[in-house]
Amino acid sequence: MTPLNVVIVGCGVIATPYAEGFADFPTLRLHGCFDVDASKRDAFAAAQGCRPYPSLEAALADPDADLIVNLTVLPAHYDVTKRALEAGKHVFSEKPLAASSAQAQELVALARDRGVRLGCAPVTHLGHAQQRAGQELRAGRIGPVRVIYAEANHARIETWHGAPHSFYRVGPLRDVGVYPLGVITSIFGPARRVWAYGTAVKPERVTKRGEPFEVEAPDWYVAVIELAAGPVVRLTASFYVTDRGKQPEAIEFHGDDGQLFLAHWFSPSAALEVAAFGQGYAPLEDFTPSTQEFRWAVALDEMARAIAEGRPHRVSGEQAAHLVEILEAAHLSIERGGAVELTTTFTAPEPLPGGPGPVA
């Protein structure tokens, strides 16, 4: 198939792993880049050997540009994606799709009207371990699943990141809680109701340079999410609890007949363990964890193949928009108290053909 010409918009830290991953996929070709910071744009273009555009308008006007990868900051996600869709370009965005559910739904409708593809992170459900977990659960390995526990403990950002302020404006639910939600909804489908609680357990923080600052969003959340298919999810997300704990970023599925433990929702090489009800865990038999690390460009390859094959892609805008509504509902629940009913839905992506493979 002819590779898609990809233009990256937003040349920050994450742009390099995306671009370097293109070498693994003959479906993709890095064509150009743009950033509002001209120095970042030019440095990225020189390092990656692609065309630097003088403006977003110039990038969108390029007839050879097929797919726009939106790696801008959250406040710019909606505007950049909307303009790209209006220009008739396929779009893949980093998470979340937009700042509000209304904006996300508008983007989904716009992509549909223009006849172009819209995809969005997170895409970790394409990983080897995550696909095998879904396969086991769909096959009834632990019986009907009724309860799911998910952890997203991402430690204290200021201890390792030089500019942590943006993380504390967004909060851990939007930043990392969305990852296990992506895996869970990819297996079980959409949610219907959300309750949540959030607070700043450590509001005063200090940067690595010794500069004090205060968090702007809760740094600790717990959300209860009812899935339309039946299971109830308890999700904890934190920028306080260590990511070196016993199960800081794991998902545990509880069924009538036992449990299945996915050691990490991000890593395709995560371990999988199973247990009969009331018994201890053991490694899942006939499962050898992948040695493949997560590849940021994997979703772009999946989208390119879906376009060529004329089928739905497995990182849909509809699912991304539903995740935005879950996050929005959680914050509404915190503000108002009580449960918040959801109005959006989506069709869960098809498992990878032939079972778990080396896609991610």
Task: Write out the catalytic residue numbers.
Answer: 95
Q: Answer yes or no: are the C-beta atoms of 306 and 117 closer than 8 Å.
A: yes
Radius of gyration of the chain (CA): 20
Peptide bond into 122 cis (omega under 30): yes
Report DSSP letters for 18-29, one per residue. Answer: HHHHGGG-TTEE
Q: Centre a 10 Å sphere on the Cβ of residue 201 and count the other Cβ atoms it contains.
A: 13
With beta carbons less than 8 A apart as the criterion, state whether 44 and 33 touch: yes
Whole-number Å distance between alpha carbons of 59 and 6: 10
Q: How far, in Å, CA of 178 to CA of 160, rounded?
A: 21
Per-position b or e across 220-247, b if 16+ CB within 10 A of its CB: bbbbbbbbeeebebebbbbbbbeeeeee
3-state SS assignment for residue 313:
coil
* Contacts made by residues 341-346, CB under 8 angstroms, sequence distance 24+: 341/192, 341/193, 342/190, 342/191, 342/192, 342/193, 342/194, 344/101, 344/105, 344/190, 344/318, 345/190, 345/228, 345/318, 346/185, 346/189, 346/190, 346/316, 346/318, 346/319, 346/321, 346/322
Query: Which DSSP symbol is given to 316?
Result: B
| Single-letter code of the amino acid located at 360 | A
Cβ-Cβ contacts under 8 Å for 66 (sequence gap 6 or more): 4, 5, 6, 31, 89, 90
d(CA 11, CA 58): 16
- Provide the strand spans (E) within 138-250: 145-153, 191-199, 204-206, 212-214, 220-227, 232-238
CB 321 within 8 A of CB 107: yes
